[in-house]
Each structure stands twice: as structure tokens, then as C-alpha cells.
Structure 1
Amino acid sequence: MARDIYGIVPPVVTPFDKGGEIDEAALRGNVRFLLEKGVHGICFGGSTGEGHTLTGDELVRISEICAEEVAGKIPLIAGIIVNSTRDAVQKAKRMEAHVDAFQITPVHYLFKPDEAATYAHFERITGETDKPVLIYNVIPWNYLSPALLVKLMTELPGILGVKQSAGDLKLFADLMVTAPEGSRIFSAIDALLYPSFALGAHGTIAANPAAVPGPCVALWNAVQAGDHPRAKAIHEALLRFWNAIAADNLPANVKTALSAQGCTGGLPRAPMPPSSPEQVRAIEKALPELLAFEATPAAKAA
């Protein structure tokens, strides 16, 4: 039976050392940090986890580590960012014993498949794994329309739902009102998590939850409780923080924010640069106000 996936699901970073290798001890520390903050699930191999740089063997090893640390407490999702159906199927099969679901992008290189080819892509993937699939709708030049996403969710039983990652809240709202019953729609609109939750998003898998999981859990709890004044206050602090980390080296800035909270983020994998001195100062300036909203243990348990 598929596990219920909802709420705050951070895409854990992949800490790298100076040689560009995975720092396994730091990765374990990151998963434990997220668990301590009361998150509802964990995703690895996503954009924030620099999944586009990971080999098949590295993804398998990360899946093993995350599964060991999570120990079945919450759902574990594997990200797959590849350019062929064959590669997606192979990676899914290698990891499916360790995870509860997959987060998979449309094909993202230069040549854009048409809607029929995209449908066939997800049809084959879902036909060759028993684990549910979230479509990670993030590729700017291959951005799937709400109509196509609804068709995929309606006709392919293996599609659990969609992680909607463009900044257009109208497209997200359209998807929320047209998605078939039982589908899961996650918001990755980092600047607008609060309105996404208010519109009924089933959760979020996004950079902000990876960087500041405690305040994001607090935001989720506030919206679920109908405490919109508190939710709006968290939103405003979260927006200021997002403006400090949003850049082409976003994963590096997430790692900087984690390290500032005592959790070793590690380095980004080249050629991505680490946070600049200006970015470090902006992150450190935005963090205190936001971290003051962290959920208390009682709130996490609610």
C-alpha cells in the first residue's frame, strides 16, 4: 500500500567535499537535522540535491544512506533528473527497494519531446515500477501544461501527482482545481508557499524547506490550524530569506544556510560556485528573524 505523502518534504542537499565526492557523514547529519525539525517526508536527488550531477551508483548509495537514517519513520522520495526514458527506468529500478516514491522530470535537454512522446515517457516509467511517481514540472523549455498534467494523472494510475515548480501561482491554481480526485499537488513556488498552502496544496518539495525546515513546518502548521496572521508573518520572513538565497547557485546557498544553523552543508559540485561573501552576509542577516518562528516540539507533534 502506497504511503501518504504530504506536508513539508525537503529535498535534502548532497554535501560534497573539496574533491567533489559525497560526504556521507555530512549527508547523514543533514537527514537527521531534517528529522529533528519534524518534516513529513524527505526527497533526495532533486535540483537542490544537485541530482543532475549524480551518477547512478551515487544515487543508489544516497538512497541507501537516506533509507537507513529515515528508518521508515516518514516517506522517502527519490529524484530522477535524466534525458532518456531508458535511463529513468534503470535508475528507478535500482532504487525502488529503498524508497516510497519517485520525483521525475520531463526530458530536459535541447530536444523537446511533443506531448505524445512525453506521455509515452511517463507511461513506460510507471509501467516498470510499482512505486508512485510525482511529475517534477520544472523544465522551462519543456514545461507541461495543466491540461497535459491532468491527462497524465487521470490515465496513468502510477502517477501520484505533480510538483509544480514555476513561479506562476495562476498555473498552480488551475492545476489545483482541475487535478483528478486523489492526486497530490505539491508547490515548489518558494516565494509563495503560504498562498499555495492556503489554496490547498498537499505540501511542498522545495529549496526553502531544505534550508530552513523548522520555519516551513511552522508555516504548514499555522495554515492547517487556520492561524493566518501567524502564517502571513512567517511568509514575510520566509520571502526575505528566499530573496537572499535565490540565485543560479541556489544549492550552494541552501548549504550555507544549513551550515549557519550548525548542520554541515558541504560544498557544491563544480562548476557551481559556493556562496559569495555578499550572499553569505545576506543569508546570515535574514536567518535570525525567520528561525524565531521555528515550530516548538508541541507544535510539531500536533
Structure 2
Amino acid sequence: MTNLTRALTGISGILATPYDADGAIAPEKQAPIVERALKAGVHILTANGNTGEFYSLTTDEAVAMVQSAADHIRGRCPLVAGVGRAIPDAMRLAKASAEAGADALMIHQPPDPFVAPRGVVDYVKAVSDAGQNLPLILYLRNDAIGTDAIAALCEIPGVVGVKWATPNPMKLKAAIAASPDDIVWVGGLAEVWAPSFYAVGARGFTSGLINVWPERSVAISEALEAGDYRKARDLIAQMQVFEDIRAEEQGGANVPGVKAALAMMGEDCGGVRPPAAWPLTDDQTARLRVFMDENGLLARAAS
């Protein structure tokens, strides 16, 4: 395994994109998030993922965010750069990410309503060509393209991993069996789903929690790697309310939950852009504050 593929078997932390008071990106506010994650031992950091509000950013903003993430990380862990949208935008962002020093590209699965499985293969190949042969990680959020198409995607030269972000462990198991043995399958639905995905052959998981409480993510990763599923489940249960809030409003509270938690810690990273839900409701805010207080996270604001 390379350093990248080994890191993929750990935690892929998805960095939030901070905004200023006027709603413009504020890359400098990301620095303490990166430092906290690295100090805790997070294995990989990702710019321009969904917790980074990728689809709310312009291509220029996405370029700026991957450049700033590279500046903050300074080679201390692998940097994965999310790319996607229209092919010209994805190719431009792939090229800029490579030039910024990214170690791999994470290709968002095209959300177009008219997606042909074989067209996705052509899409990935086009983006790969622009990325100066960086390793590729496929971000799979729709497994309806079928096992054969997923296996074909995994056979594209340069693909080293798949972030599986659908709640279908048995389809994941079938995809693993049909694909090359050297692909790293990463749980793409964060900590809560990690034990189920591990049980069928995945390794590692993505996390938005790392922006707020990376130590908990690392503890869950260590328990899963040790095969201690009971401990992992207990650790997950203690942060379940955070993920429950983020899952509300059809997932529209996902990033708002992270941004609100950061603000409670004294790290105001601004709000979120529509169509996400902002601000949190009074009930969501109250539950989040109790969670933060019970786990000592509000104390960080005081310190």
C-alpha cells in the first residue's frame, strides 16, 4: 500500500468552507480546523467535499479553497481535492488541484438527471487526464448505476479508492467482489455507518465531525481497526445526536450542524448558502448545545 492508500483506510476528514460576514469565502478561518484535526491524528483531509459545500461554490472559489487547504496542511497529511460539475469546470479544478499540491482527486459522481453508466466512465477518464495523473477516488452516492458499471469505473487506470455513500452494505459487498482487489473501499456515510460497511469489507470512513471533535473520530477509527465493534458502537452512540441533527430536513441541516457547532466553540465560520437550511431551528440549536456541553466542546471556546 502507498501512503495514500494506507491513509484511506483511516479517517477522510471533509473540511468545512468558512465564510465571512458578507458570505464570501474566508479561507484563513479554516486554519484552526486543520490544526485541530492534524493534532488529533486524522489521516486525510479533503477540500471541496460535500461538507465543504462543493455545489454551493463557484469554480473560482473551489480553486481558492484547495489552494488554501494545501497551504494550511503543508504536506503533513495527504490532501484530497474534490472535483466535479461540468467537464470543463471539473478539468480546470483538477488541474488547479494538482498544481496546488493535492495528493489525489475525489471525483464527485455527476448528479445530472440523465446519467448513463458508461457516460460516467467517460467523465472520469476526462477528469483524470486533466489531473496530471493524480490518483483517483470515486465518490459514489448513487449505486443504481449497477455493479457492472461500478466495477468498470474501478478498472480505470489511476483509480485507487471508492467512497461508498449509499446505505446499502450488501450492494457494497457485491461491488467489492466484482472489482480489482487493490481498490480501497471507504465508508462514505461518516461514523454512524462505518461499522456496517466494515463488516462487509470497507476500510476507513469519511467524517464531517472532524471539524468539531476529531478526537472522537480517531477513537472510533482505532476501535474499528482493532475489531472492537462494541467499543466503536458505544463511541458512535455518544455522538449520535450530532449526526441526527445533521440528517434532518432531508440532509439540509448537515453542514449547518457543523457550522453552528463551530460557532458555539468560538470559531465563527459563517452560515451556509441556500438551498441548505440556515440557521438551525431553535430546537436543533438547543439539542446541539446540550450535546456540545455534555462532551466538553463548549469549553474550547473559553480556552
Category of TM-score, reference length = shorter chain: 0.7 to 0.9
Contact 1:80 1:88 in 2 (8 A): yes
Superposed displacement of residue 51, structure 1 = 0.7
Equivalent residue, structure 2, for 1:275: 280
Corresponding position: 1:249 with 2:250: no
Q: RMSD between aligned alpha carbons? A: 2.3
TM-score normalized by the length of structure 1: 0.86
Identity over aligned pairs, percent: 24
User: Does the residue aligned with 2:160 lie in a helix, a strand or coil?
Assistant: strand
- Summarize deviations over 1:78-101 as a string: whole Å, max 9, x none: 11231x223211210122122011
5+ long unaligned stretches in structure 2 = 298-303
5 Å-filtered alignment, 1:143-222, equals: 143-154=144-155, 156-190=156-190, 191-222=192-223
Displacement of 1:48 after TM fit? 0.9
Q: Provide the residue aligned with 1:298 in structure 2.
A: none
Q: CA deviation at 1:228?
A: 2.9
- Which residue is equivalent to 2:70? 67
Measure how far apart 1:143 and its partner are. Answer: 4.5
Counterparts of 2:201 and 2:265, CA distance in 1: 30
Deviation string, structure 1 residues 113-164 (Cα, Å, up to 9, x no partner): 212211111122223321111111125xx8432321111112x112222111
Shift of 1:290: 5.8
Secondary structure of 1:96's aligned partner = helix
Q: How far does the alpha carbon of each residue in 1:157-211 deviate from its partner, in whole angstroms, 9 at most, with x for none?
A: 1222211111222222333333311111111223312232344422112434444
Equivalent-residue separation in structure 1 for 2:72 and 2:216 (angstroms): 22
Distance 1:146 1:212, change over 3 A: farther
Cα pair distance change 1:234/1:80, threshold 3 Å: same
CA contact (8 A) 1:211 1:254 kept: yes
- State how 1:32-181 maps to structure 2 within 5 Å: 32-82=35-85, 84-97=86-99, 98-110=101-113, 112-129=114-131, 130-139=133-142, 143-154=144-155, 156-181=156-181
Residue 225 (1) aligns with residue 226 (2)? yes
Partner of 2:162, secondary structure, is strand
Please, what TM-score do these two structures have when normalized by structure 2?
0.86
Change (3 A) 1:71 1:287: same
Give the match's secondary structure for 1:43.
Answer: strand
Change (3 A) 1:91 1:71: same
What is the letter of the counterpart of residue 145 of structure 1?
Answer: G
Is the contact between residue 23 and residue 270 of structure 2 (CA under 8 Å) also seen in structure 1? no
Tell whether the 8 Å contact from 2:28 to 2:68 is kept in structure 1 after alignment: no
Alignment-derived partner of residue 296 in structure 1: none
In structure 2, the residue matched to 1:297 is none
Residue segments in structure 1 that go unaligned for 5+ positions in a row? 293-302
Q: How many residues align?
A: 287
CA gap 1:206/1:122 in 2 versus in 1, 3 angstroms = same
> How far apart are the structure 1 equivalents of 2:124 and 2:55?
19
- Corresponding position of 1:299: none
Quick one: distance in 1 between partners of 2:233 and 2:160?
Answer: 30
Q: Does the aligned pair in 2 maintain the 1:212–1:257 contact within 8 Å? A: no
